[in-house]
Homo-oligomer: A and B are copies of this chain.
Amino acid sequence: MKIAILGTGAVGTTIGSKLIELGHEVMLGSRSNTNEKATEFVNKHDKNAYKGTFEEAATFGEIIFNCVKGEFSIAALKSAGSGINNKIIIDVSNPIDTSKGAPLSLIPELCNTNSLGEEIQRNFPNIKVVKTFNTMWSTLMMIPSMLQDGDHTNFICGNDEEAKNEVKNLLYEIGWKEKSIIDLGDITAARGTECLILLWLKIWGATIGTFSIKVVN
């Protein structure tokens, strides 16, 4: 499948590398098509790795990952123009307010009664936003087995059932087990998964090594 990844940070390149390993073609999108990290990414892979502007990447991708920082996500998707039309956007980002100091908080307009996932869906009504992966480290997203043989939880939410099913299939391909995926319903559930970052950061400070969250019952 042709997959676009908007954002060239650790999250975007980690996801991109895994998808190439699985046989997909990946284009990293960024503000400029001379982005150094994107060039490095392309050079690192023998084949199936491409780079371009946000618009070029979005046009290329049948599915699009949003791995741009929360505060810049809407702008990046706007730059992508008509390239995103009618496509699935897998939104991995959290609306962290980097303008304030520690302890980190969420962008006030995008928490509690709103979320980045909803804001994206509202700004671009003809795309299908599926929120997932935003509650864990990027390496864990792509190698779930690195903790407890994959026995921890990945949440998913979004308004379009078909889009969610397509994303779930991609999750299975990556190595996620069906029992480890909890479908929380529509995109308003992003309020819950995004604000988990506030707890996540405190657990990170209090524990040693890689961790994640598991729903036990």
* Residues of A participating in the B interface, judged by any CB pair closer than 8 Å: 100, 103, 105-106, 108, 111-113, 147-148, 151-152, 155, 157, 182-185, 188-189, 191-193, 195-196, 198-203, 205-217
Contacts and interface: CB of A to CB of B under 8 A. Distances in A.
Contacts of A157: 202
A124 B185 CA distance: 40
B191 A198 contact: yes
A198 B202 contact: no
Contacts of A195: 111-112, 195-196, 198-199
Contacts of A112: 105-106, 108, 111-112, 195, 198
Nearest to A135: B199
| Pairs of residues from A and B, 9 with the lowest C-beta to C-beta distance, nearest first | A192-B199, A211-B217, A192-B198, A195-B195, A184-B202, A189-B202, A192-B202, A214-B214, A214-B216
Contacts of A184: 199, 202-203, 205-206
